[in-house]
């Protein structure tokens, strides 16, 4: 960890950097899943879902940047390589060979998992008196919940 005068104790910074890198790994993993869905979607909802997934991964890029930059601000390293993401992400593995609406269900499942991780991360950030990290996590959580609403709206319920 590199020195900084950010004003947070080292143990807090260490814990927040680890937490941020875990959420970053999930965000990058989810972004790759959304790209996979965007590239491979087929069927009657192609145009709408192709666009939806593109807008979703664009927002995920922004969220990833917020998480990574906060880890670096705290004196850490943003762990954004494919191998780091593969080792850290707790999201469900995305099936490669699926079709049509299954992409929507898989993205919704992964997004639900990530959204829960984000919400659970807000409390430790607040308890360790790092309101900036808590605010970033809250902002991203709000966006994740909005995306979950939009993606779940595409799932036909019987």
Give the tens place of pLDDT for each residue, 97-137. 888 889 999 999 999 999 999 999 999 999 999 999 999 99
Architecture of domain 10-152: Up-down Bundle (1.20)
97 burial (CB, 10 Å; 0-12 / 13-18 / 19+) is: exposed
pTM: 0.96
User: Hey, where are the domains in the chain?
Assistant: 10-152
Question: CB–CB of 134/122 below 8 Å?
Answer: yes
158 pLDDT exceeds 70?
no
Integer-rounded Cα radius of gyration of the chain: 16
**Residue pLDDT, tens place only, 11-50:** 999 999 999 999 999 999 999 999 999 999 998 889 999 9
pLDDT band per the 50, 70, 90 thresholds, residue 157:
low
């Amino acid at each position: 960890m590199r020195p900084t005068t950010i004003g947070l104790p080292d143990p807090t910074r260490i814990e927040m950097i680890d937490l941020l890198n875990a959420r970053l790994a999930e965000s990058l993993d989810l972004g790759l899943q959304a790209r996979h869905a965007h590239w491979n979607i087929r069927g009657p909802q192609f145009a709408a879902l192709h666009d939806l997934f593109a807008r979703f991964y664009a927002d995920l890029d922004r969220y990833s940047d917020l998480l990574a930059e906060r880890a670096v601000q705290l004196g850490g390293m943003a762990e954004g390589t494919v191998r780091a993401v593969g080792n850290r992400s707790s999201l469900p593995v995305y099936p490669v060979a699926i079709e049509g609406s299954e992409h929507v269900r898989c993205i919704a499942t992964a997004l639900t998992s990530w959204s829960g991780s984000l919400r659970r991360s807000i409390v430790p950030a607040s308890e360790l008196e790092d309101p900036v990290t808590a605010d970033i996590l809250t902002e991203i959580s709000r966006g994740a919940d909005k995306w979950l609403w939009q993606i779940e709206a595409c799932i036909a319920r019987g």
